[in-house]
Amino acid sequence: MNSLGLLSAVGAAICWGSFFVPIRKVRVTDIWQLQGATGIGVILFAIPIGFFWGFQILPAGLLGGAIWTAGNLLALYSVRLIGLSRTSPFLAGFSILVSFLWGILYFDEKFNYMVLAIIAVGLLLGGLTFISNTSKNQPVQKKGYLIAVASGLVGGSYVIPLQATHSLQAGFFSSSLSIFVIGIPLLLLSRKFAKREMMAGILSGGLFNMGSLSVLVAVGLIGITVAYPISQTATLFAISWGVLYFREIVHRESIFKIITGAGLILCGAALITIA
- HEC-encoded secondary structure of 234-258: HHHHHHHHHHHHCCCCCCHHHHHHH
pLDDT at residue 136 in the model: 56
Using one digit for the tens of pLDDT, what is the confidence trace for 219-271? 888 887 778 778 877 877 877 787 777 777 767 777 787 778 778 877 876 77
Which candidate, 98, 104, 105, 102, places its Cα nearest to that of 117? Answer: 104
**Total domains in the fold of the chain:** 1
CB-facing half-sphere around the CA of 264: CA atoms within 13 A: 20
Distances (CA, A) of 11 to 15, 42, 61, 112, 227: 6, 17, 22, 25, 11
Which candidate, 92, 91, 98, places its Cα nearest to that of 77? Answer: 91
| Count of helix runs (H) and strand runs (E) in the chain | 13, 0
pLDDT at residue 195 in the model: 82
How many other C-beta atoms are found inside a 10 Å radius of the C-beta of residue 195? Answer: 7
- Domain holding 87, by residue range, is 3-274
Distances (CA, A) of 146 to 94, 143, 247: 11, 5, 23
Q: 28-32, 42-46, 100-104, 111-115 — which is least confidently predicted?
A: 111-115
- Average per-residue pLDDT in the chain? 84
Using one digit for the tens of pLDDT, what is the confidence trace for 176-229? 999 999 999 999 998 888 888 899 899 999 999 999 899 888 988 888 777 877
